[in-house]
A and B are shown apart, each in its own frame.
Chain A
Amino acid sequence: MRSNEYRVILLAAGSGSRMRDITNNKPKCLLPVGNMPLIWYPLSLLEREGFKEVNVITLDVQHAEVKKAVDKLGLKLDVKFHTIRESDDLGTADALKKVAICGEWKEDVIVMGCDFITDQSLDEMIKLHRTTGAGMSAFFFPSIPESTSVPGPKSKIRTDRDLVVLDKHNRLLMLTSAMDHDENMSVRMRIIKKLGRIDIKSRLTDGHFYILDNRVWNFIISEENSDMSLKGEVLPFIIKQQFSHLNKVVHKESKGELKRLSVDIDDEQETEETHKFFKHFTVDELQNLTDLYNGYNNHPDSSYGRYLDDRLRCFAIIAPSGSSFKVNTLASYCEVNRQVLLAENWERFAKSKPLVRVDPSCGSKTRKIESSLVGANTQIGEGVKIEKCSIGSSCIIEQNVTLSGCIIMDGVTIKEGTVLTDCLISDKANIGTNCNLKSCLVDAKFSVPSITESSSKILSGVLMSTE
């Protein structure tokens, strides 16, 4: 139903550079969250919102694996894969250009990351985009608290924070990374003058969910756009263009004397890029006329018209706390796994799919399993205690093992008598008898020798440093 209105591009070629420890053997988009691959969440969201077609961008080396996993999900979506070469090391904007080669789109475009989990309705976001007539809408949600416990060494990894500047109507005025500003962040006086009041938020996470107007999309894929990264360069550029004097609505009668030009031109360097950008914004006479006659004004207290007479407007959609996750760090990965275990949260994020706590193929021996998920074909021995864990498929858990707060991926073997607390065990790892691990991260295919006692460590065959 939406296919005539929006095209969707799902970015699944991310390497997961912020969570190397668990993504060096597995594509990020296939990491299990609540025993479903990560990519299932955005895909199922799109499916239940009535989308029919999705374009997924993957790396060529992971393509087969991802395709197999997606096919297995049994979604009704028509998933089209586009591959990019890993060796090219393309930015997101470049990757989008690759997709655009396949044909010209007249529709607006939704670009989302494969690591985006939300319980918000796309319908409402789209409606907001529509009503505001935004050139670009970006989705934000409150960041997860920094105190979230993470398996592995307690190194203070500074998370990359975004600085989001908004006005009272949630119009997006600036979007930069806090890393780019050592001490000072400067905001143009003109913005403040125009709006009177702006809010700078540092605790919002960018969901990497963007609704792009067709004109903006055409700019991004055009030759004129030389930037590589969508988030880092292209979007800040577009957001900045809102304050270009070329962005003004020019009404028929005032064509000769550009309205309030003198105010805007003083510090505006007319860069070539700005001109190139606004080439894609052809004058829409009827839209201007509609705006001219419209009685609605969201800035009634200023001398400007609605939306400050701007043609290009960017808006932020801000979701309530806890409603969305961006799984791009180890902390958020662990947090989302913890959240999904609660039945009510599962219902929020996975809506259509019923929660199967323990797969029926696991047998029914005496054991104690509380608020956990256990995948198919996992063997669980006698006297096993499992609490708040998610356990993948084809694992072997022997007698008298105690697990609490763990994330255990597929094919893991845990020998008898072992106690694991808040650990993350990657695929096909092997843990010996009577181990006691706390907040540890066990690498894929690594065998932990028997009677190991350890806490807050990365157990792996290779010496690795967290990037």
Chain B
Amino acid sequence: MEENPVQPLSKSKRKRLRKKLNKQGPKEDGGEAQADLEFVPAVQVEPPAEPCPCLKPQPDLEREEESPVKVKEPENTQEIPKTEQIKMDVTKGAEMSREDIKAARQAKKAAKKSKENKKPEQKEEKTIVPKEKAQEQAQPKPAVVKEPVQKAPVEKIEETGSTDKGKVQQKSSKELKEERRLKQEAQRAAKAQKAEQAKAPPVIEAKPSKSVKAVTENVNKPAKPMLTGLARTIATMARECARIDCNPDGVHPAFLQLEARMQSRLLEGSTARVVGLMRALRSVINDYKVPENVAITRDLVEHVEKQVAYLRGRRLMSVALDHAIKSLRLNTLAYDVSEQEAKVTVNAAIDAYINKIEQDMQSVALNLAHKVKDGALLAVYSYSCLIMNALKQLFKTGKRFRVVVVGSNTHNGGMTMLSQLSDLGVECTYLLINQVNFIMPRVQLVLLGAESMLANCSMVGPAGSAQIACVANSQGVPVYACCETSKFSYDSHQGSFFKQNELGINLLFLTFSPLFTHCKCAEPEFLAPQLKNMPYMSQCSLRCDVVPERFISAIITEVTILPCSSVPDVLHSPSSDTVLKSRTT
């Protein structure tokens, strides 16, 4: 299979692969660990590694961006602040949405214009406009991404140091906020203007830039540093998560509830979310009434899509959820189907999918059984119902093992795992993620529950997974990711994962108003009071983590145990689930 990766896996081949893997398993793990021990964290960017064979079919464009991916790996970022800077720039590039780029372009135009009309009275405004321009220019251009090490520090000086550095330092948080708001307004205004002018193309060039200029001048009067890099990204994310323009009109209460529970992190784990989604969909379908003179097929699809769009608007959709919706095959309903029949069909599809989830979980448990020896000491991180279920099955079949449950302050999943395991009677140890280094030498196997596997072979897991995997890898402990193939994703988030990530809850940073403990946590006014006075602080608490391919020894799926590099093969395999296949078309 590895010799000819482009061709899909046949069933017999897969079987062979499994045997091979089982035989080679430990050896391979050792080898890989060895390789990683040699890796010394260094300032310089590693040259792009030999792309793994399965990445070959991918377009060249993505290979270009490979160096930032390397930089992003945790070993580097932890040790050297410089690389941190790089990371920030990379994220900037990735995080820029199309609107942002548009706005930036217009701002550029505005700046140009202001340069042309140089007038002595406008001095103050002028000095600032180019500053903003320089910064915004830098963001969308991939050129920065290509040579981040040299560029990054220089750029930083440009940003803050040009003319009024002293002024910059004195800005209060209030002013900062105000400015941020104004800037957003400017962008929004620009966008609105553009939309307005869309009908009359020739006018676009002159008019919108004028208006933008007017607004940016206002913005820059107080002359403050812009939010940059990471802080900016997080602010954007928080804004998107708390978006109120997401119209809840016509959204079914079940979906509103689902959204609320997901947003406030009361529904954790992609499997739980899928089941929750199915439950919400069931109520939507059952309450659905087909309007007069409308084909049910189209209207139902639109109706469901509207509900899903609401979740998507709050950036809560993930691969697993996408698959779940696709599996219902709403668009394949017969044209002349009656409302009742349609409901029965869709309900049956929901049941079938739930069944499939349960079966997949059992299969994963069976596959995992090959890897867990009697008396082994396993380490798990946070909560994963897939791993929980597998361990339960193992324990019931009489296998005895001990588990180190690793938890963190921001996810209470570890505690959930712990209490469920100890309920079973499994011997457990609980420790927090910052102590994981000490226990690792004794551990034989690390199990990570994956939210998703990306097409570039890295794993998405709860925040902290990468750290565990990294420590395990450095000490030669094999790391297995548990993931159903329905969570395999066609996306390969090169660069950063910010675009897809969700904001988590950082308990340390929050004040708890007695009324709304869980709501609104992404908003700045819920910061603890002592942190409000720190203008240069922006809180960051992310929900997901990306574990790079080389930290993972194998993926345990419901089909077989695969090496990480096989993710694209599974995705392109015709024998894999038709649901997956339907995504390519």
Closest A residue to B250 by beta carbon equals: A4
- Known: A107-B253, A286-B275. Is A124-B267 also a contact (CB below 8 A)? no
Residue A256, interface by CB 8 Å: no
Say yes or no: B257 contacts A295, CB within 8 Å: no
Q: How far is the CA of A325 from the CA of B557 in the complex (A)?
A: 57
Chain A interface residue count, CB cutoff 8 Å, equals 36
Nearest-CB distance from B393 to chain A (Å)?
11
Nearest-CB distance from B460 to chain A (Å)?
15
- Known: A124-B516, A169-B517, A317-B515. Is A296-B260 also a contact (CB below 8 A)? no
A302-327: contact bitstring with B at CB < 8 Å (1 yes, 0 no)? Answer: 11000000000000011110000000
Q: Which residues of A contact B260 (CB under 8 A)?
A: 127, 130-131
Q: Report A277-302 residues with CB < 8 Å from chain B CB.
A: 284, 286-287, 289-297, 300-302
The one of A120, A130, A296 in contact with B268, judged by C-beta atoms closer than 8 angstroms, is A296
Say yes or no: B419 contacts A297, CB within 8 Å: yes
Nearest-CB distance from B357 to chain A (Å)?
9
- Known: A106-B287, A286-B354. Is A133-B268 also a contact (CB below 8 A)? no
Nearest-CB distance from A131 to chain B (Å)?
5
Q: Which residues of A contact B413 (CB under 8 A)?
A: 295-297
Nearest-CB distance from B350 to chain A (Å)?
8
Residue A128, interface by CB 8 Å: yes
Residue A49, interface by CB 8 Å: no
Say yes or no: B279 contacts A286, CB within 8 Å: yes
Residue B423, interface by CB 8 Å: yes
- Known: A131-B264, A131-B266, A133-B257. Is A1-B515 also a contact (CB below 8 A)? no
Closest A residue to B389 by beta carbon equals: A293
Say yes or no: A297 contacts B416, CB within 8 Å: yes
Say yes or no: B518 contacts A290, CB within 8 Å: no
Say yes or no: A294 contacts B519, CB within 8 Å: no
Q: Which residues of A contact B498 (CB under 8 A)?
A: none
Say yes or no: B253 contacts A4, CB within 8 Å: yes
Q: Report A306-362 residues with CB < 8 Å from chain B CB.
A: 317-320
The one of A106, A170, A293, A318 in contact with B269, judged by C-beta atoms closer than 8 angstroms, is A293
Q: How far is the CA of A318 from the CA of B266 in the complex (A)?
A: 20
Residue A108, interface by CB 8 Å: yes
Q: How far is the CA of A291 from the CA of B412 in the complex (A)?
A: 15
Say yes or no: A293 contacts B385, CB within 8 Å: yes
Residue A5, interface by CB 8 Å: yes
- Known: A106-B287, A292-B385, A303-B423. Is A320-B514 also a contact (CB below 8 A)? yes
Q: Which residues of A contact B276 (CB under 8 A)?
A: 286, 290
The one of B278, B411, B423 in contact with A286, judged by C-beta atoms closer than 8 angstroms, is B278
Residue B415, interface by CB 8 Å: yes
Q: How far is the CA of A222 from the CA of B427 in the complex (A)?
A: 50
Say yes or no: A294 contacts B279, CB within 8 Å: no
Q: How far is the CA of A107 from the CA of B283 in the complex (A)?
A: 12
Chain B interface residue count, CB cutoff 8 Å, equals 45
- Known: A127-B260, A131-B261, A131-B264. Is A284-B279 also a contact (CB below 8 A)? yes
Say yes or no: A295 contacts B416, CB within 8 Å: yes
Say yes or no: A289 contacts B415, CB within 8 Å: no
B489-515: contact bitstring with A at CB < 8 Å (1 yes, 0 no)? Answer: 000000000000000000000000111
Q: How far is the CA of A114 from the CA of B418 in the complex (A)?
A: 48
Say yes or no: B256 contacts A130, CB within 8 Å: yes
- Known: A286-B279, A286-B354. Is A294-B269 also a contact (CB below 8 A)? yes
Q: Which residues of B contact A295 (CB under 8 A)?
A: 268-269, 272, 382-385, 411, 413, 416-417
Q: Which residues of B contact A1 (CB under 8 A)?
A: 248-249
Q: Report B290-345 residues with CB < 8 Å from chain A CB.
A: none
Closest B residue to A1 by beta carbon equals: B249
Say yes or no: A300 contacts B415, CB within 8 Å: yes
Q: Which residues of B contact A292 (CB under 8 A)?
A: 272, 385
Q: Which residues of A contact B513 (CB under 8 A)?
A: 320
Residue B83, interface by CB 8 Å: no
Say yes or no: B271 contacts A296, CB within 8 Å: no
Q: Which residues of B contact A284 (CB under 8 A)?
A: 279
Say yes or no: A296 contacts B253, CB within 8 Å: no
Q: How far is the CA of A303 from the CA of B421 in the complex (A)?
A: 10
- Known: A130-B260, A131-B260, A286-B279. Is A294-B272 also a contact (CB below 8 A)? yes
| Most-contacted residue by chain B among A293, A301, A320 (CB, 10 A) | A293
Nearest-CB distance from B567 to chain A (Å)?
23
Closest B residue to A5 by beta carbon equals: B253
Q: How far is the CA of A169 from the CA of B516 in the complex (A)?
A: 11
Q: How far is the CA of A170 from the CA of B516 in the complex (A)?
A: 10
Q: Which residues of B contact A106 (CB under 8 A)?
A: 287
- Known: A5-B256, A127-B519, A130-B260. Is A290-B279 also a contact (CB below 8 A)? yes
A114-136: contact bitstring with B at CB < 8 Å (1 yes, 0 no)? Answer: 00000010001001101111000
Q: How far is the CA of A465 from the CA of B248 in the complex (A)?
A: 53
Say yes or no: A293 contacts B272, CB within 8 Å: yes
Closest A residue to B418 by beta carbon equals: A300
The one of B257, B265, B515 in contact with A296, judged by C-beta atoms closer than 8 angstroms, is B265
Q: Report B350-389 residues with CB < 8 Å from chain A CB.
A: 354, 382-385
Nearest-CB distance from B7 to chain A (Å)?
35
8 A-B pairs in the complex with CB atoms less than 8 angstroms apart: A130-B260, A131-B264, A131-B518, A294-B268, A295-B383, A300-B416, A300-B418, A303-B423
**Besides the known contacts A131-B257, A133-B261, 13 further A-B residue pairs in the complex with CB atoms under 8 A apart:** A107-B253, A130-B257, A131-B519, A170-B517, A293-B271, A293-B272, A295-B413, A295-B417, A297-B416, A300-B412, A301-B419, A317-B515, A318-B515
